[in-house]
Amino acid sequence: MSTDTVSILEGSTFVVSDRRGDMDASPTDTSGLFRMDTRFLSRWVLRLNGDRPSHLSTDDLQYFSAQFFLVPGTGTVYIDSPMSVVRRRAVGGGFHEDLTILNHSHEPKDLEVRIDVGSDFADLFEVKDALKKKGQYYHKIEDNKLILGYRRDKFVRETWISSTSPAQIDEHGLSFKVHLDGHGEWTTGLDVTARGAGTKDDPTQPKYHHSNETPRPEGVNLEQWLNQAPQLTSSWMPLEQIYRRSLIDLAALRFFSLIFPDAALPAAGLPWFMAIFGRDSIITSLQAIPYEAELAKTTLRVLGARQGTMVDDFRDEEPGRILHELRLGEMTAFEERPHSPYFGSTDATPLFLILLDEYERWTGDAELVRKLRREARAALRWIDEFGDRDGDGYVEYDRRNKETGLENQCWKDSWNSILFSDGTLAPLPRATCEIQGYVYDAKMRCARLARQVWNDPALADQLEQQAADLKRRFNQDFWVADRKFFALALDGQKRKVDSLTSNIGHLLWSGIVDDDKAEHCVRHLMGDKLFSGWGIRTMAEGEGGYNPIGYHVGTVWPHDNSIIAWGLRRYGYRKEAARIAMGILEAATFFRYRLPEAFAGYARQHTRFPVEYPTACSPQAWATGAPLLLIRTLLGLEPIGKNLLVDPAIPRQIERIELLNIPGPWGKADAFGRGLIDLDQPTTTTPTR
């Protein structure tokens, strides 16, 4: 999101405004009040005597609330107004806004105060693609409130707007005649409620706790959330701010599913992806497990409950497959989009199994693993029966839904992400390299669960044999011998897609890489063509499809880098992992300590600061989780039975890191590390295990 906008969110509800607090959306603009994939308010503009106030300052330190400090326009470059305006807004089932006008002069003031309102009730897909509505709008005024509505057959959405002070209400807004005595003030409370959004309870008014400072949605306890997480201190002060920002944003992105309404999993990101996403929720949960394992538990339960059960071409559903995305808007309701849910993600299923094992290792919660045994077995069957489409031993993808389904069903899911080194597009079906790594890791991890939790040694032996066979074949079939790295994919004709990309770093995380090939991969990852100085680019400079501002063909993704750094530590490349971690963490300081979804791949020596990617989500879940995983990587945290292994590898720029009260089967543990790695010295790519 742009720094010119202010976003506040809670659960499935979020509000995006300008820094005055106004919303005035164009058809493709993301301003407004959104709930359950529908924009319930697209216009909310304050005017005093016909003019819009000027912005002084904005306080948006709380993710669920914001305060806007304004003055009436003075007509000059000087701010010397006799009045000021304060808007205090909190989101929750809609939003509540306290509007206060202060008179700082001895003279009384009479004002015409106006709130212009409107709603296009746009589905988020319509906002993204500038599509036209097919239903009918209506409005009515009853019981001192304005009701804006939209109806298409049985699909009905309404926005209810009311004020605590008497107002003149018309179809376009609310007007107030305000008299202020000398040094007086006037306040009204404005309630905006989203109705018919498919929620379990649909109150006539939002529920808030009020304080002297700002209203707060019921159920929000940010301090409790922060206090229950491990406490971090560091000699490098930005790290503490980045850590706190990540925890706050993780709290903001909590999504409460209708299946388990009392537990939260991570939504993917603001503004486009405030919904359940299989891959995004899983990866974010993996990143956050040492700090907040309940997110992983809920993610596993929700995705297990929504697991595919049939073959459905429209939704790309197959038995055992883990969903990609679940939406609740109009276009999904009328099957103009397949997201009810949509299953077009090929990596979410092995990642689900990886998360199941990682969760048990960090929590000791074998009971959940036992409860999800049927879902895990179904996921393993999907890998072998549906994931491997042609029986060649590799998992590949090709969409069943040829009209609106995703063409690329890996994490780099833009249409042009899978390219040969000359820039030509690889034909479908595609077997990307990192998915094979995920499958290898999933089978190795499930073998452990089968032996230790499910009491099924025969399954464990079978999975270990399958994983070993996959590793052997993969290191032969995907290796590009003349360039000494693994192919991005095998295309539909079993040709090696030979562009150099960040995907090879995911292979190190999974453990599928033979030791004699790991050093070559590391040299590529840390070379100038992939490593920008801030992080690893998604595609190497010099490849035919490279673009430093291309979504998946040259930008730097923080979550991608956090996984790569984790993989480097797995293979003993401590210094290289520290270099990546430091670059990404330093980049965060240029984004107000909040990492965006992606930023441009320009070389650090050319820009001196990371360049924003114009449409990146922020906050975005797995970017929010990236610093958490990087901290784990720097401290070398690994659960070993009922003990926590701490093996720090910290750069000298960070003299000290302390992470206290890390929960696990061991109870609570502390981790300490000192910065001993000199990043200024050349990297030798020699593992130091």
Tokens of 616: 């990146």
Q: Please determine, for residue 74, whether its predicted confidence score (pLDDT) is greater than 80.
A: no
Instruction: Provide the pLDDT confidence category of residue 688 given band limits of 50, 70 and 90.
Output: low
Instruction: Provide the pLDDT confidence category of residue 615 given band limits of 50, 70 and 90.
Output: confident
Q: Please determine, for residue 1, whether its predicted confidence score (pLDDT) is greater than 60.
A: no
**DSSP per-residue string spanning 32-63:** EEEETTEEEESEEEEEETTBPPEEEEEE--ST
375-421 confidence digits (pLDDT tens): 999 999 999 999 999 999 999 999 999 998 999 999 999 999 999 99
Dihedral Cα 4, 534, 276, 125, nearest 10 deg:
50
Confidence at residue 258, expressed as pLDDT on a 0 to 100 scale: 75
Better-scored residue on pLDDT, 7 or 214 = 7
Q: Are 618 and 594 in contact (CB under 8 A)?
A: yes
Better-scored residue on pLDDT, 132 or 643 = 643
Q: Are 180 and 101 in contact (CB under 8 A)?
A: yes
Confidence at residue 10, expressed as pLDDT on a 0 to 100 scale: 84
Domain that holds residue 159: 5-220
Instruction: Provide the pLDDT confidence category of residue 683 given band limits of 50, 70 and 90.
Output: low
Q: Please determine, for residue 203, whether its predicted confidence score (pLDDT) is greater than 80.
A: no
Task: Convert 565-601 to b/e letters by CB count within 10 Å (16 or more is b).
Answer: bbbbbbbbbbbbbbbbbbbbbbbbeebebbbbbbbbb
DSSP conformational letter for 553? T
Confidence at residue 492, expressed as pLDDT on a 0 to 100 scale: 93
137-159 confidence digits (pLDDT tens): 999 999 999 999 999 999 999 99
344-361 confidence digits (pLDDT tens): 999 999 999 999 999 999
Q: Please determine, for residue 623, whether its predicted confidence score (pLDDT) is greater than 50.
A: yes
Confidence at residue 200, expressed as pLDDT on a 0 to 100 scale: 42
Confidence at residue 680, expressed as pLDDT on a 0 to 100 scale: 83
Confidence at residue 398, expressed as pLDDT on a 0 to 100 scale: 96
Q: Please determine, for residue 653, whether its predicted confidence score (pLDDT) is greater than 70.
A: yes
- Residue 430 is assigned to a structural domain of this protein: no
Confidence at residue 275, expressed as pLDDT on a 0 to 100 scale: 87
Q: Which stretches of 72-184 are assigned E, i.e. beta strand?
A: 83-91, 94-103, 109-118, 136-142, 145-152, 155-163, 168-170, 173-180
Confidence at residue 682, expressed as pLDDT on a 0 to 100 scale: 67
Cα–Cα distance measured from residue 591 to residue 585, given in angstroms and rounded to the nearest whole number: 10
- Residue 265 is assigned to a structural domain of this protein: no
Report the domain count for the chain: 1
Q: Are 253 and 288 in contact (CB under 8 A)?
A: no
37-72 confidence digits (pLDDT tens): 999 999 999 999 999 999 999 987 788 999 999 999
What percent of the chain clears pLDDT 90, i.e. is strictly above it? Answer: 82
Q: At what angle do helices 558-570 and 278-288 cross, to 10 degrees?
A: 50
Q: Please determine, for residue 12, whether its predicted confidence score (pLDDT) is greater than 70.
A: yes
Q: Where would I find the H helices in 556-647? A: 558-570, 574-588, 604-607, 621-635
Q: Please determine, for residue 215, whether its predicted confidence score (pLDDT) is greater than 80.
A: no
User: Which range has the worst mean pLDDT, 212-221, 301-310, 394-403?
Assistant: 212-221
Instruction: Provide the pLDDT confidence category of residue 608 given band limits of 50, 70 and 90.
Output: confident
- Residue 318 is assigned to a structural domain of this protein: no
- Residue 48 is assigned to a structural domain of this protein: yes
User: Which range has the worst mean pLDDT, 186-200, 308-322, 509-523, 563-577?
Assistant: 186-200
Confidence at residue 202, expressed as pLDDT on a 0 to 100 scale: 44
- Residue 19 is assigned to a structural domain of this protein: yes
Q: Indicate which CATH number applies to the domain containing 139.
A: 2.70.98.40
Which whole-number Å values give the CA distances from 164 to 174, 176, 581, 583, 600, in the listed order?
12, 11, 51, 51, 47
Confidence at residue 196, expressed as pLDDT on a 0 to 100 scale: 85
Q: Are 651 and 677 in contact (CB under 8 A)?
A: yes
- Residue 647 is assigned to a structural domain of this protein: no
Confidence at residue 201, expressed as pLDDT on a 0 to 100 scale: 41
Cα–Cα distance measured from residue 183 to residue 502, given in angstroms and rounded to the nearest whole number: 62
pTM over 0.85: yes
The helix/strand/coil state of 594 is coil
Tokens of 18: 């300008």
**DSSP element (H, E) containing 520:** helix 515-526
Q: Please determine, for residue 617, whether its predicted confidence score (pLDDT) is greater than 90.
A: no
- Residue 302 is assigned to a structural domain of this protein: no
Instruction: Provide the pLDDT confidence category of residue 204 given band limits of 50, 70 and 90.
Output: very low
What percent of the chain clears pLDDT 70, i.e. is strictly above it? Answer: 93
Better-scored residue on pLDDT, 131 or 46 = 46
Q: Are 635 and 646 in contact (CB under 8 A)?
A: yes
Residue corresponding to tokens 């697209």? 42
Confidence at residue 67, expressed as pLDDT on a 0 to 100 scale: 95
Instruction: Provide the pLDDT confidence category of residue 684 given band limits of 50, 70 and 90.
Output: low
Mean pLDDT calculated for residue range 508-513: 98
Confidence at residue 580, expressed as pLDDT on a 0 to 100 scale: 98
- Residue 277 is assigned to a structural domain of this protein: no
Which whole-number Å values give the CA distances from 594 to 296, 428, 645, 674, in the listed order?
22, 36, 29, 24
Confidence at residue 218, expressed as pLDDT on a 0 to 100 scale: 47
- The mean of the pLDDT values for the chain is 92
Cα–Cα distance measured from residue 365 to residue 297, given in angstroms and rounded to the nearest whole number: 9
258-304 confidence digits (pLDDT tens): 777 778 899 888 877 888 899 999 999 999 999 999 999 999 999 99
Strand order in the sheet with 38-41: 5-10, 13-18, 32-35, 38-41
Instruction: Provide the pLDDT confidence category of residue 76 given band limits of 50, 70 and 90.
Output: low
Q: Are 312 and 334 in contact (CB under 8 A)?
A: no
User: Which range has the worst mean pLDDT, 256-260, 586-590, 650-654?
Assistant: 256-260
Q: Are 55 and 19 in contact (CB under 8 A)?
A: yes
Compute CA 527 distance to the chain's CA centroid, rounded to the nearest angstrom.
28
Confidence at residue 211, expressed as pLDDT on a 0 to 100 scale: 42
Q: Please determine, for residue 89, whether its predicted confidence score (pLDDT) is greater than 90.
A: yes
User: Which range has the worst mean pLDDT, 51-65, 198-212, 617-631?
Assistant: 198-212
Mean pLDDT calculated for residue range 234-263: 91
